[in-house]
């Protein structure tokens, strides 16, 4: 149990990767604050976590709102008395309806940066004072392999994830004197609700995927770009998150780890 009695806040943990990270951390003994805008699914995640024998609570939080991230941190302190880990997982691929648009709009740029970049900054700013007082903390940001290299598809998304990698380095330097580690994970291709929409968008806009179902787009892309030839899973990301948020990784900070089956070897 490498996280026994630790307390973790996982943003966007109602579904997908965030849910898997929260469950992995709970299996390793951490108490979890499930934070998301989707209250119903967040409650389900919290129920599933409690069944593992640790404590869980839900705080409905929109990470773009600083009052909400402050309330999220306060709730963790009120429920559990400490905050050891923050996972900034909440993310979007565009403004509502993005997957039906062939090109990025100004609102896609604004909304995506608000959630993916500023949302991470808000949550980190809200937990940092508690971590500084404790002189202990782990902050993990979810970037993406999309942030490793600019591509024409979804430039607002890929550049926001590049910003997350850069911010991870900046924050790691800032918080190192307080004994707080800050790292990022760059997931590869994972079949989550987000990728289902990505697949549909490729089928509409990219001739090589024209007419395919989203899952078929996903599989074709994996066969083309992933050296291992297989998809990554939310559990894969959870395993990497466990390590980076454990004391075994105490000398690792400011890093972005690709978990992508060898897609990007840098």
Ligand X SMILES: NC(=O)c1ccc[n+]([C@@H]2O[C@H](COP(=O)([O-])OP(=O)(O)OC[C@H]3O[C@@H](n4cnc5c(N)ncnc54)[C@H](O)[C@@H]3O)[C@@H](O)[C@H]2O)c1
- Judged by CB under 6 A, the stretch of 11-19, 76-84, 101-109, 130-138 that binds ligand X is 11-19
Which of 6, 156 has the CB closer to ligand X? Answer: 156
Which of 28, 144 has the CB closer to ligand X? Answer: 144
* Residue choice 7, 9, 37, 128 for contact with ligand X (CB under 6 A): 37
Q: Which residues, in sequence order, are CB contacts of 130 under 8 Å at separation 6+?
A: 73, 77, 82, 83, 137
* Residue choice 46, 83, 92, 256 for contact with ligand X (CB under 6 A): 92
CA-to-CA distance for 215 and 195, rounded, in angstroms? Answer: 9
Q: Name the β-bridge partners of 60.
A: 36
Cβ pair 37, 61 in contact under 8 A = yes
Hunting for tokens 């062939």 — which residue is that?
A: 102
Which of 136, 154 has the CB closer to ligand X? Answer: 154
Q: Classify residue 42 by its DSSP letter.
A: H
119-138 residues near ligand X, rule: CB under 6 A: 119
135-154 residues near ligand X, rule: CB under 6 A: 142, 144
Cβ pair 69, 125 in contact under 8 A = yes
* Residue choice 7, 34, 72, 90 for contact with ligand X (CB under 6 A): 90
Please state the φ and ψ torsions of residue 7, each to the nearest 5 degrees. Answer: -120, 125
CA-to-CA distance for 77 and 32, rounded, in angstroms? Answer: 11
* Residue choice 7, 8, 18, 94 for contact with ligand X (CB under 6 A): 18
Please state the φ and ψ torsions of residue 59, each to the nearest 5 degrees. Answer: -130, 115
189 binds ligand X, rule: CB under 6 A: yes
Say whether 157 is catalytic.
yes
- Judged by CB under 6 A, the stretch of 25-33, 89-97, 105-113, 221-229 that binds ligand X is 89-97
261 binds ligand X, rule: CB under 6 A: no
Q: Directed axis angle between helix 119-134 and helix 66-80, to 10°?
A: 40
Catalytic residue among 157, 167, 202, 209: 157
* Residue choice 83, 115, 128, 240 for contact with ligand X (CB under 6 A): 115
- The three-point CA angle 265-255-154 to 5° equals 65
- Judged by CB under 6 A, the stretch of 12-20, 102-110, 176-184, 238-246 that binds ligand X is 12-20
66 binds ligand X, rule: CB under 6 A: no
Q: Which residues, in sequence order, are CB contacts of 113 under 8 Å at separation 6+?
A: 156, 160, 163
* Residue choice 91, 137, 199, 261 for contact with ligand X (CB under 6 A): 91
11 binds ligand X, rule: CB under 6 A: yes
Q: Classify residue 60 by its DSSP letter.
A: E
31 binds ligand X, rule: CB under 6 A: no
16 binds ligand X, rule: CB under 6 A: yes
Cβ pair 20, 235 in contact under 8 A = yes
Q: Residues interacting with ligand X, by CB under 6 A?
A: 11-12, 14-18, 36-38, 61-64, 89-92, 115, 119, 142, 144, 187, 189-190, 192-195
Active site residues: 157
């Amino acid at each position: 149990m490498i996280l026994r009695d630790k307390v973790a806040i996982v943003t966007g943990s109602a579904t997908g990767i965030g849910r898997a990270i929260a469950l992995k951390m709970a299996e390793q003994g951490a108490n979890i604050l499930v934070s998301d805008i989707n209250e119903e699914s967040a409650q389900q995640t919290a129920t599933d976590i409690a069944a593992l024998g640790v404590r869980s609570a839900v705080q409905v939080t929109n990470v773009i709102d600083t009052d909400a991230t402050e309330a999220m941190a306060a709730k963790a302190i009120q429920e559990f008395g400490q905050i050891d880990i923050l996972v900034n997982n909440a993310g979007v691929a565009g403004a509502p309806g993005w997957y039906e648009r062939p090109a990025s709009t100004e609102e896609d740029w604004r909304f995506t940066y608000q959630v993916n970049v500023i949302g991470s900054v808000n949550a980190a700013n809200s937990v940092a004072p508690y971590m500084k007082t404790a002189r202990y903390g782990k902050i993990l940001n979810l970037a993406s392999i999309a942030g490793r290299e600019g591509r024409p598809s979804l430039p607002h998304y890929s550049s926001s994830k590049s910003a997350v990698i850069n911010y991870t380095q900046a924050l790691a330097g800032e918080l190192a004197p307080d004994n707080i580690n800050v790292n990022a994970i760059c997931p590869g291709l994972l079949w989550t609700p987000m990728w289902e929409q990505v697949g549909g968008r490729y089928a509409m806009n990219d001739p090589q995927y024209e007419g395919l179902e989203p899952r078929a787009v996903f599989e074709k892309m994996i066969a083309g770009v992933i050296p291992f030839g297989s998809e990554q899973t939310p559990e894969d990301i959870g395993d990497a998150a466990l390590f980076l948020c454990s004391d075994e990784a105490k000398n690792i900070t400011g890093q972005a780890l690709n978990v992508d089956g060898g897609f990007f070897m840098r």
